[in-house]
A and B are shown apart, each in its own frame.
Chain A
Amino acid sequence: MCTLELRNLRKVYSNVEVIKGVDLTIKDREFVVFVGPSGCGKSTLLRMIAGLEEISGGDFMIDGVRVNDVPPDKRGLAMVFQSYALYPHMTVAENMAFALRLAGVPKPERDERVMVAAKTLQLDALLERKPANLSGGQRQRVAIGRAIVRQPKAFLFDEPLSNLDAALRVQTRIEIAKLHNDLKSTMIYVTHDQVEAMTLADRIVVFNAGKIEQVGTPLELYHNPANLFVAGFIGSPKMNLIAAEVRSSDGRTSVLTLEGGSLFSVPKALVPGQKLTIGLRPEHIAVVAEGGMAGRVEVVEHLGNETIAYASIGAAQPLTVKLPSDSDVRIGEMLHFASRGQTASLFDEAGSAIMSPSA
């Protein structure tokens, strides 16, 4: 059992507040991913949870016990560092057994627990090697092994894949997902990569400037972003965000004038004259024969499995459209675009979502 509870957690560095009051409950066996741009405070928050950074305000509870002033090793959490932080002069086995050795666990038990962890991670052939003689992926696994051996209440991962190459990153990501499934323990994972967040998380916490923007399952964030920041952050290619004004509304549907002059109707009652931002995912836009938004194709990217087109519709940003790979759009072509289904998100002037039309 391990439930982590963050109550109005704050961190202040010499008058600069970097964590501005975070409330979050992480349930037992949950895989929570903290995601956000660089400098948003997600790593700092993880280090506060680990006990490596002092908590300036609020309460941090593990299983209902306040642990603000408990030293890191007594919190029962294990951390996997970005640089792996293996002890270079110790062998793989010694690295993994270090915590147990300090805790005074007798050698036979130590060896057994190291062996079990090594087998799960396919490290058993490397136990006598030094970290310098391991590849990046192997070092990563040793770092995870060192955490597993301690049988912690929860695992903390601080951008663990950012030092690996792309192919290895995908593979290790799958291994971590498998590991969570096998160990059934609570995990907190920090990353700036939204793909890692979407694929691994039970719940994603999106951070921006020291505050939580939204908490939800990957699909909740994808379908119902709470605000413009989350809308722009989750999804690739990015959601099209276009300024718009309500032109008319008949009580059931409203017609919007988009920046650039195109008209767009949404099944929602809105106040005419209201200024808002409409969000359209590139994968939810289709090419139609006529009507909709007209735009000239400026750039076409053929990715093999799909084709991305960027069309100028007169707005500040070109409209990004995801098309099938066999689509034969050409640069300079004039096309008409329409939203597929009723999948537009609307945001008011403050950037908060107006209850999505499909909801």
Chain B
Amino acid sequence: MTKPTTAPPHRKKLMHTWPLLTPTVGVLLLWAFVPLAMTLWFSFQRYNLVDPTISGFAGFNNYKFLLESPAFLLSIVNELVLVGAVLIITLVLGVAFAVLFDQEFFGRSVARLLVIAPFFVMPTVAALIWKNLLMDPVNGVFAFVARSLGFTPIDWFTNYPMAGVVMIVAWEWVPFATLILLTAMQSLDRQQVEAAKMDGARGPQILRYVILPHLARPMTIVLMMETIYLLAVFAEIFVTTSGGPGNATTTLTYLIYLRALVSFDVGGAAAGGVLAVILANIVALFLVRTVARNVDL
């Protein structure tokens, strides 16, 4: 059985894995580290697209200029408000829809498809539809409903711009939360719910003591995935408010865009990018801690 010529299997394995890994690692290096390195490099350069004579090493001036500008602090607050509000709305509605669409009712599969559908609409299109068809203060559906009920229509993007953006982004992300949580609901042991009923639990108590603990882990996953994407929300702001009125809806992401492609200040935008990476990492750190707590159920 054992031939002395055959190499031990683990040694063979070691020899053969790294060539297989190389393409992935190489592509990752190209796609992630090269832009990051370039951003870091530009953030220490004086670099303006309008005036090529401005050049050379800038030291920390780009960072200093950014951190001292009032727009920067506001953009971080806006970013956190947007991400936080959308997360809360999507998780609450996601749990509600997951529980609701888990029930048996006529036309359930069609209803499930419809609740997932907004996820397939691209952000730009979603923002345009909401802006022009739904939230327009003159021609929008909301305005029509408000007027027919005797209320004054709300001019969302003038008076409540952040709420308007939050509504659109939340509408796009509720399907994602619903999808993940609905899948999780289907793995809930029905006998647990029945045991809780026998123990005297009614609807809200079953939700509190059986369903929510069961959904804790998928909820953290939704939280993490959404945060990654929400920190980069751009199209919805660009299409609806362009960061305004004033700076009311300028998030950090949008601020970087303004610096780079409106002011053409590549150095300042790169510094903003580096700060955004740091901010994202701080958020990620908190999230990973929450996940670590939840995973230990």
A-to-B contact residues, CB < 8 Å = 50-52, 71-73, 77-79, 81-83, 85-89, 98-99, 102-103, 130, 132, 146, 150
Contact = CB atoms under 8 A, between A and B. Distances in A.
B209 A98 contact: yes
A83 B191 contact: yes
B124 interface: no
A78 B196 CA distance: 11
B199 A99 contact: yes
A73 B199 contact: yes
A85 B209 contact: no
A214 B150 CA distance: 72
B200 interface: yes
The secondary-structure label for the interface of chain B is helix
Interface of B: 189, 191-192, 194-201, 205, 209-210, 213-214, 216, 297
Given A81-B191, A102-B205, A87 B210 contact: yes
Given A89-B213, A98-B209, A50 B198 contact: yes
Contacts of B201: 73, 98, 102
A132 B295 CA distance: 13
The 9 closest A-B pairs by CB, nearest first: A73-B200, A85-B191, A99-B199, A85-B195, A89-B213, A102-B200, A81-B191, A85-B192, A72-B198
Contacts of B194: 52, 72, 79, 81, 85
B297 A88 contact: yes
Nearest to A158: B191
A82 B189 CA distance: 11
Contacts of B297: 88-89, 130, 132
A154 to B, nearest CB: 12
Contacts of A50: 198
Contacts of A88: 213-214, 297
Contacts of A82: 191
22 contacts: A52-B194, A52-B197, A73-B200, A77-B198, A78-B198, A79-B195, A81-B191, A82-B191, A85-B189, A85-B192, A85-B194, A86-B192, A87-B195, A87-B210, A87-B213, A88-B214, A89-B297, A98-B196, A98-B199, A99-B199, A102-B199, A146-B199
A86 B194 CA distance: 11
